[in-house]
Amino acid sequence: QLYNDTTELQAKVWPAALISAIGKDKKVYFSPAGYQNRIAIEYMLPIQLGDIDIYRLTSTRTLLSARPLTDNQRALICGGITYEATTTIPPRGNQGGASNDLRTFDYAAGKHMKFTYLPGSLAEADSIMARRNMKGDLLITGSDVTEQHFCELASQYPIINISTHGFFGAATTPLGTDLKPCLTDESMSENFLVLAGANTNINNEDFDKQQRDGLLSALEMSALDLSQVELFVASACQSGSGHITADGVYGIQRGLKNAGVGAMVVSLFNVSDKATSIMLSNFQTLVAHGMPLHKAFFAARETLKTPTQQTKTYLDDTVMSSMVQRNGDFDLPQYTNAFIIIDAIDN
């Protein structure tokens, strides 16, 4: 509803004085503050600014250290995750000195959480793998997407696309005006991605909480070294949510940036698996063909608005097949405005 009638909000976000100041510039860079972190104001442009390229940044200082994606980069693609997997702990336990986020485990176990299998996430991952058709890409699915395995692989790939459940613990997204470490740490622990074996582990009273549980929290992400990751796509509900402070959003966004990630794609609310699969497979295909990240993202978003048929290629084990998907059904804000791209600064 917020995006269906944007007239009043649009006037507040893009007042006449700001439109005048932008003038004939073709590129606008902005770093959101406060409630602007909750909404995709880049999709609310007034007609006067309809032909500009608008870039969302975690901070304007990002302009000083822009990291455009280089060509022919390998991708780690994850989807179709088995949350009921039973063998998620390596024989020697966690490797590399990793420690589990106990607050995340206690939070999920205390609420007896259970996550349903997402068949659409497997379709998305298969489609991306087949359509990119890039040497060096790696597709992992099912029980292979354990927290330990994912964390070991993540630092080795410049592009990561993971399709799974995302969760943010607050009933309403909290808004703060100061930095409050205890509250932001809590928010970082209650904002997580769900990996293989999560259901099995958090509902097992005998589970060793020192081992990785299949819930990859934003706090745990922040401890990883992802400085080689140029693009991280968190294809999950609420992956862009978090506690909002004067220093930005404390959630998966912050976890990824602290880990050293360059650009990222996250969602602002719950998403449709079908619309997400179409958009992100198109996005990753365009990126694989050399289109700059920002341009590729907005071009892929436009495909959801196109009332035509599009052939999609899927990978079924070693056999590629194709199916026809009608896109016009997704020309609605709940589909087109769900995802945002952050810190994608094209040359």
CA-wise closest residue to 159 among 215, 218, 78, 241: 78
Q: What is the mean pLDDT of residues 207-221?
A: 94
More confident residue, 75 or 306: 75
What values do phi and psi take at 222, rounded to 5?
A: -65, -20
What local confidence, expressed as pLDDT, does residue 316 receive?
44
pLDDT of 180 > 50? The answer is no
pLDDT of 321 > 50? The answer is no
What local confidence, expressed as pLDDT, does residue 34 receive?
82
In the chain, alpha helices (H): 7-13, 16-22, 102-110, 119-132, 147-154, 181-189, 198-202, 218-222, 252-259, 273-288, 293-303, 333-336
With pLDDT > 70 as the criterion, what percentage of the chain qualifies? 83
Beta strands in the chain (DSSP E): 27-30, 53-56, 75-81, 138-142, 159-163, 166-168, 191-194, 215-217, 231-235, 242-245, 248-251, 263-267, 309-316, 319-326, 339-342
∠ Cα 233 219 199 (to 5°): 75
Q: What is the mean pLDDT of residues 9-37?
A: 90
What local confidence, expressed as pLDDT, does residue 318 receive?
33
Could you state, in order of their start, the residue ranges of all structural domains in the chain?
1-56, 75-273
Residue 190 CB: number of other CB atoms within 10 A? 23
* Predicted confidence band of residue 22 (pLDDT cuts 50, 70, 90): very high
**What whole-number distance in Å separates Cα of residue 30 and Cα of residue 14?**
12
What local confidence, expressed as pLDDT, does residue 9 receive?
83
pLDDT of 88 > 70? The answer is no
CA-wise closest residue to 131 among 305, 274, 279: 279
pLDDT of 224 > 90? The answer is yes
**What whole-number distance in Å separates Cα of residue 54 and Cα of residue 67?**
17
Q: What is the pLDDT of residues 239-295, one digit of tens each?
A: 888 787 777 788 899 999 999 999 999 999 888 889 999 999 999 999 999 999 999
More confident residue, 100 or 198: 198
**What whole-number distance in Å separates Cα of residue 318 and Cα of residue 248?**
44
> What is the number of alpha carbons within 13 Å of residue 321 lying toward its C-beta?
6
What local confidence, expressed as pLDDT, does residue 323 receive?
38
Q: Which of 5-14, 58-67, 103-112, 136-145 has the lowest mean pLDDT?
A: 5-14
* Predicted confidence band of residue 94 (pLDDT cuts 50, 70, 90): low
What local confidence, expressed as pLDDT, does residue 332 receive?
87
**What whole-number distance in Å separates Cα of residue 192 and Cα of residue 239?**
8
Q: Which of 74-88, 185-199, 239-253 has the lowest mean pLDDT?
A: 239-253
